């Protein structure tokens, strides 16, 4: 990834995916296999080379399901928090 700049949003997504995978005790290969993609595709998401928002809905939802991530939070994150979407009413 030398020479590639990761924007703040993509970095947030990548960090969330990586932390969830590590909490689950999964390798990158295991997650990729469960989802049905090749490891390089998965690594691009986790390394911030490909924004999560640009993944297909099928891949994005599969990542969220396997890693226990709220799809709305990873997709909209701070923008929805500012609107109070993630706060209890």
Query: Mean pLDDT by 10-residue block, N- to C-terminus, for the chain (89 residues)?
Result: 61 93 98 97 94 91 96 79 63
Q: What is the pLDDT of residue 75?
A: 85
C-alpha distances out from residue 35 to 5, 30, 53, 66, Å: 27, 9, 17, 8
User: Is residue 69 within 8 Å of 17, Cβ to Cβ?
Assistant: yes
Q: What is the pLDDT of residue 2?
A: 45
Q: What is the pLDDT of residue 77?
A: 75
Q: What is the pLDDT of residue 81?
A: 65
Q: How far apart are CA 8 and CA 31, in angstroms?
A: 24
Q: How far apart are CA 36 and CA 33, in angstroms?
A: 5
Superfamily for the 8-82 domain: lambda repressor-like DNA-binding domains (1.10.260.40)
Core vs surface per residue 4-24: b (16+ CB within 10 A) or e: eeeeeebebbbebbbebbeee
How do the domains of the chain map onto residue ranges? Answer: 8-82
């Amino acid at each position: 990834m030398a020479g590639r700049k990761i924007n703040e949003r993509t970095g947030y997504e990548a960090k969330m995916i990586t932390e969830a995978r590590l909490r689950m005790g999964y390798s990158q290969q295991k997650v990729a296999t469960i989802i049905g993609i090749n490891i390089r595709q998965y690594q691009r998401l986790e390394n911030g080379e490909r924004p999560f928002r640009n993944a297909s809905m099928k891949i994005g939802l599969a990542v969220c399901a396997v890693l226990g991530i709220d799809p709305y939070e990873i997709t909209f994150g701070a923008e929805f928090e500012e609107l109070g979407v993630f706060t209890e009413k």
